[in-house]
Amino acid sequence: MCGRARCTLRVDDVPRACHLNPHRPLRSVDTHRYRPAYNVSPGSNLPVIRRDNGTNSQGVAIHCMKWGLIPSFTNKTEKPDHYKMFNARSESVTEKASFRRLVPGSRCLVAVEGFYEWKKDGAKKQPYYIHFKDGRPMVFAALYDSWKNVEGEVLYTFTILTTSSSSALAWLHDRMPVILGNTGSTEEWLDGSSSSKFSTVLKPYEEPDLIWYPVTSAMNKPSYDGPECIREIQLKTEEMKPISSFFSKKVCNSDESKPQVTNASRPPMHATPALTLKVEPDTEGNTVDQQPLVDGSNEDVKSNVAQAQLANQGAYQFQLKRDYEQFSAEDKSSVETNHPHSSPAKKKGNLGGSGAGSGQKSLFSYFGKG
Catalytic-role residue among 2, 64, 108, 229: 2
| Largest CA-CA distance found in the chain, in angstroms, rounded | 155
Angle at 69 between CA 109 and CA 182, to 5 degrees: 15
Q: Give yes or no for a contact between 209 and 134, defined as CB atoms under 8 angstroms apart.
A: yes
Q: Is the CA virtual torsion 98, 100, 103, 104 positive or negative? A: negative
How are the residues of the chain apportioned to helix, strand and coil, as percentages rounded to the nearest 5?
25, 25, 50
Question: Which own/partner pairs from 215-220 qualify as long-range (CB within 8 Å, at least 24 positions apart)?
Answer: 215/116, 215/127, 215/128, 215/129, 216/127, 217/125, 217/126, 217/127, 219/4, 219/38, 219/39, 219/116, 219/127, 220/118, 220/125, 220/127
Q: Which of 18, 108, 113, 117 is the catalytic position?
A: 117
* Nearest residue to 88 (alpha-carbon basis) of 80, 97, 79, 76: 97
Is 229 part of the annotated catalytic residue set? Answer: no
Distances (CA, A) of 283 to 192, 244, 280, 288: 73, 18, 10, 11
3-state secondary structure of 317: helix
- Assess contact for 9 and 46: CB atoms under 8 A: no
Instruction: State yes or no: is 238 an active-site residue.
Output: no
- Residues acting as catalytic residues: 2, 117
